[in-house]
Structure 1
Amino acid sequence: MTQSVFYFLLILASYFIGSISFAVVVSKAMRLPDPHSYGSGNPGATNVLRTGNKLAAVLTLVGDALKGYLAIFLARALIGVDVDSWVLPTVAVAAFLGHLFPVFHRFKGGKGVATALGILLGISAWLGLAALSTWLIVAFFMRYSSLAALITALFAPVYFVFLFGFQPMALAIAAMSALLIWRHQGNIQKLLNGTEGRLGAKK
């Protein structure tokens, strides 16, 4: 097997890992409704929480983050790639695209917040913690989960450049941030209209 073929298989495997939708897996295991069939229709932790099952939402969140982390971890373990390699950025984007467009779930994926966090933690613990801290601060003061995700997406590439300089991974993170913002179009419109639900607000 040539090196190029091995890299291709690694990238493809990363996409398949990202394609595992834990919202769907956890819901089936816990006999909950398909997350595509209620609420926002988004297969993510926030929508799963609408069932009232907090454990299912936590498991979804952790699972989606872990798969992003796993894709980066496996790439580094198998070929020792670092942040300045073109392989690792491609692996990161492949895993993220897997979550957004999962082949196992008719390409109906989530918005990518938890998976993006897992990827960032896999790249660097400091990078992941910076992104998580940004989300927590914005969510705490503004009480909007979507706004926290959007602001974190904007800052994530900046954090990477600050920590590591301008490298191929910075472009990959910027691409993931752009995709995440694109997936939040509906939330952006609700924020502008003043109809977006706040964290902890009673329905």
Structure 2
Amino acid sequence: MNTILAVVAAYLIGSLSFAVVVSKLFGLADPRTYGSKNPGATNVLRSGNKAAAVLTLLGDAFKGWLAVWLAIRFQDQFQFDDSSIALVALAVFIGHLWPVFFKFVGGKGVATAAGVLIGIDIWLGVATLATWMIVAFAFRYSSLAALIASIFAPFYYGLLFGPDVKMLAVAIMSGLLVYRHSQNIANLIAGKESRLGSKKAEAKEEKKK
């Protein structure tokens, strides 16, 4: 029963869409109505409000971390085993992808996944984030960096702790993240994906003209 309640609570925490909430607080348009229509930090940034985008990023990461941290913090008190922790990790991530509070229209899960990984283990999170940064810096594609980092995450977990049920949860989470980036994958293959900083470069060119 405790595990069921924890999973439900984690899903509800994940269902808090910071992109929508922060945009409303800042008086911005609903991120589901413009750009990529993805309620995430990258799309919020398209509004031109950097503070809102940063708060969205931090909020989405925080909720992923919080749900896992609480489950681990009270593991002994509520008799949670590794399966319980794995289910909580998946529940908060799925809540972000398909939030009950926002008609099941959620984001792609990059920030929330990062928060979950940090909640499981700080070094797991650091290794995955480092992978994202290296790929992003080398190729200038945020989506490609997210895809490669998500693929490596289960391997990092296996190297650190060996295969177990939490590694399975990380692998499922990675698979869902790749699925949510299907359009980005198509754009990458077609050479249509926007590079990091491309919008700023285009804006500068327009000003020169």
TM-score in terms of structure 2 length: 0.93
1:127 to 124, 127, 131: 124
The amino acid across from 1:55 in the alignment is A
The answer to whether structure 1 residue 13 and structure 2 residue 9 are counterparts is yes
State the 1:79 CA deviation.
Answer: 2.1
State the 1:85 CA deviation.
Answer: 1.1
- CA distance in structure 2 between the aligned counterparts of 1:134 and 1:6, rounded to whole angstroms: 35
Q: Report the RMSD for the aligned CA atoms in angstroms.
A: 1.4
- CA distance in structure 1 between the aligned counterparts of 2:37 and 2:79, rounded to whole angstroms: 37
- CA distance in structure 2 between the aligned counterparts of 1:83 and 1:8, rounded to whole angstroms: 10
Deviates more, 1:69-78 or 1:181-190: 69-78
1:55 to 30, 45, 51: 51
Which residue does the alignment assign to 1:99? 96
- CA distance in structure 1 between the aligned counterparts of 2:100 and 2:44, rounded to whole angstroms: 20
The answer to whether structure 1 residue 198 and structure 2 residue 195 are counterparts is yes
The answer to whether structure 1 residue 69 and structure 2 residue 68 are counterparts is no
TM-score in terms of structure 1 length: 0.95
Which residue does the alignment assign to 1:23? 19
State the 1:7 CA deviation.
Answer: 1.2
* Cα deviation code 1:56-97 (max 9, x no counterpart): 000000000000000001111222489971100000000000
The amino acid across from 2:10 in the alignment is S
- CA distance in structure 2 between the aligned counterparts of 1:97 and 1:88, rounded to whole angstroms: 14
Deviates more, 1:127-136 or 1:82-91: 82-91
- CA distance in structure 1 between the aligned counterparts of 2:181 and 2:82, rounded to whole angstroms: 30
- Bigger Rg, which one: 2
Does the 8 Å contact 1:76/1:82 carry over to 2? no
The amino acid across from 2:182 in the alignment is Q
Gaps of 5+ in 1: none
The answer to whether structure 1 residue 115 and structure 2 residue 112 are counterparts is yes
Q: How many residues align?
A: 199
Deviates more, 1:73-82 or 1:38-47: 73-82
Question: What is the DSSP-based 3-state SS (H/G/I as helix, E as strand, rest coil) of the residue aligned with 2:82?
Answer: coil
The amino acid across from 1:143 in the alignment is R
Gaps of 5+ in 2: 203-209
Question: What is the DSSP-based 3-state SS (H/G/I as helix, E as strand, rest coil) of the residue aligned with 1:191?
Answer: helix
Question: What is the DSSP-based 3-state SS (H/G/I as helix, E as strand, rest coil) of the residue aligned with 2:37?
Answer: coil
Which residue does the alignment assign to 2:133? 136
Does the 8 Å contact 1:43/1:109 carry over to 2? yes
Does the 8 Å contact 1:84/1:168 carry over to 2? no
Question: What is the DSSP-based 3-state SS (H/G/I as helix, E as strand, rest coil) of the residue aligned with 1:79?
Answer: coil
Return structure 1 stretches of 4+ with deviation > 4 angstroms: 81-84
Identity within the alignment, %? 58
